[in-house]
Amino acid sequence: MITLSASSEKALKKLYIKTYGCQMNVYDSERMADILKPHGYELTDNPDASDMIIMNTCHIREKATEKVYCELGRYKPIKKLREEDGKPFILAVAGCVGQAEGGEIVKRAPYVDIVLGPQSYHQLPEMIERAKRAFHARQENAHDQKKLKELKKDPIVYADFPVESKFDHLPQVSDNKRFSAFLTIQEGCDKFCTFCCVPYTRGAEYSRPVFDILEEAKRYIEAGAQEITLLGQNVNAYHGTSPTGSGEWGLAALCLELANLDGLKRIRYTTSHPKDMDEALIQAHGACEKLMPFLHLPVQSGSDRVLKLMNRKHTVSFYEDIIHRLRDANPDIGFSSDFIVGFPGETDKDFEQTIGLVERVSYGQAYSFSYSPRLGTPAAALEDQIPEAVKKERLYRLQSLLFAQQLAYNKSFIGRTIPVLFERYGKKPGQFLGKSPYMQSVHVLSNDDILGKIRWVSITDAFETSLQGEIIAEQCFLGG
Ligand code: SAH
Ligand code: SF4
Ligand code: F3S
Res 8 pLDDT > 60? no
The CATH code of domain 6-158 reads: 3.40.50.12160
* pTM of the full structure: 0.93
Is the separation of the CB atoms in 332 and 289 below 8 Å?
Answer: no
Separation of 273 CA from ligand 2 center, angstroms?
A: 8
Separation of 60 CA from ligand 1 center, angstroms?
A: 7
Q: Please indicate whether residue 231, judged by its CB atom, sits closer than 6 Å to ligand 1.
A: no
Separation of 406 CA from ligand 2 center, angstroms?
A: 25
Shortest-distance atom of ligand 2 to CA 196: 1
Q: Please indicate whether residue 363, judged by its CB atom, sits closer than 6 Å to ligand 1.
A: no
Starting from the CA of residue 395, give the closest ligand. Answer: 1
**Average pLDDT of the chain?**
92
Residue 218: predicted pLDDT:
96
Lowest-pLDDT range, 37-51, 127-141, 198-212? 127-141
Ramachandran bin of 417, using left for φ above 0, alpha for ψ from -120 to 50, beta for the remaining angles: beta
DSSP state of 172: S
Q: Please indicate whether residue 313, judged by its CB atom, sits closer than 6 Å to ligand 2.
A: no
Question: Which residue in 236, 410, 240, 382 sits closest to 311, CA to CA?
Answer: 382
Is the separation of the CB atoms in 56 and 115 below 8 Å?
Answer: no
Separation of 35 CA from ligand 2 center, angstroms?
A: 28
- HEC-encoded secondary structure of 214-235: HHHHHHHHHCCCCEEEEECCCH
Is the separation of the CB atoms in 250 and 280 below 8 Å?
Answer: yes
Residue 86: predicted pLDDT:
87
Question: Which residue in 194, 263, 213, 203 sits closest to 233, CA to CA?
Answer: 203
Question: Which residue in 296, 313, 295 sits closest to 304, CA to CA?
Answer: 313
Q: Please indicate whether residue 196, judged by its CB atom, sits closer than 6 Å to ligand 1.
A: yes
Pocket test for ligand 1, best of 196, 276, 307, 386 (most atoms within 8 A of CB): 196
Residue of minimum CA distance from atom 15 in ligand 1: 338
Residue of minimum CA distance from atom 1 in ligand 2: 196
Q: Where does the pLDDT of residue 442 fall: very low under 50, low under 70, confident under 90, or very high at 90 and above?
A: very high
Write the pLDDT tens digit of every residue in 280-293: 999 999 999 999 99
Residue 146: predicted pLDDT:
83
The class (CATH top level) of 166-338 is alpha beta
Give the C-alpha separation, 339 to 331, whole Å: 24
Q: Give residue 217's Cα distance to chain centre.
A: 18
Res 155 pLDDT > 90? no
Write the pLDDT tens digit of every residue in 301-324: 999 999 999 999 999 999 999 999
The arithmetic mean of pLDDT across residues 261-271, rounded, is 97
Q: Any idea which fold 417-473 has?
A: OB fold (Dihydrolipoamide Acetyltransferase, E2P) (2.40.50)
Q: Please indicate whether residue 191, judged by its CB atom, sits closer than 6 Å to ligand 2.
A: yes
Exposure string over 137-166, b if 16+ CB within 10 A, otherwise e? eeeeeeeeeeeeeebeeebbbbbeeeeeeb
Separation of 469 CA from ligand 1 center, angstroms?
A: 34
Shortest-distance atom of ligand 2 to CA 300: 7
Write the pLDDT tens digit of every residue in 408-423: 999 999 999 999 999 9
Domain spans in the chain, listed from the N-terminal domain onward: 6-158, 166-338, 417-473
Write the pLDDT tens digit of every residue in 209-251: 999 999 999 999 999 999 999 999 999 999 999 999 999 999 9
DSSP state of 166: G
Shortest-distance atom of ligand 3 to CA 59: 4
Res 339 pLDDT > 80? yes
Q: Where does the pLDDT of residue 168 fall: very low under 50, low under 70, confident under 90, or very high at 90 and above?
A: confident
The arithmetic mean of pLDDT across residues 147-170, rounded, is 78
Q: Please indicate whether residue 189, judged by its CB atom, sits closer than 6 Å to ligand 2.
A: yes
Res 111 pLDDT > 70? yes
How far is residue 138 from each of residues 71, 103, 104, 423, measured CA to CA in Å?
24, 19, 21, 46
Res 253 pLDDT > 70? yes
Shortest-distance atom of ligand 3 to CA 118: 2
Shortest-distance atom of ligand 2 to CA 271: 4
Q: Please indicate whether residue 25, judged by its CB atom, sits closer than 6 Å to ligand 3.
A: yes
